[in-house]
């Protein structure tokens, strides 16, 4: 069960990250990029 939850969490994180990158691409602002880098560091 632990492994399944980990995979599910990774999928959710990936979807959220992709959505965040799309939002950054639209807005082209510096602040959201920093937020995404924080999320990437947390994932890694």
Q: Tens of pLDDT along 1-44? A: 688 888 888 888 888 888 887 877 676 655 656 677 776 776 66
Torsion of CA 20, 40, 3, 11, to 10 degrees: 20
Give φ, ψ of 20 to 5 degrees. -60, -40
User: What confidence score (pLDDT) does residue 44 get?
Assistant: 61
**What is residue 1's DSSP assignment?**
-
Region of 28 on the Ramachandran plot (φ > 0 left; ψ -120 to 50 alpha; else beta): left
User: What confidence score (pLDDT) does residue 28 get?
Assistant: 62
How many domains does the chain contain in total?
1
Neighbour-count burial of 31, counting CB atoms closer than 10 A to its CB (0-12 exposed, 13-18 middle, 19+ buried): exposed
User: What confidence score (pLDDT) does residue 31 get?
Assistant: 60
């Amino acid at each position: 069960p632990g492994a399944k939850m980990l995979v599910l969490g990774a999928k959710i994180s990936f979807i959220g990250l992709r959505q965040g990158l799309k939002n950054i691409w639209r807005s082209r602002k510096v602040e959201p990029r920093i937020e995404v880098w924080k999320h990437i560091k947390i994932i890694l």
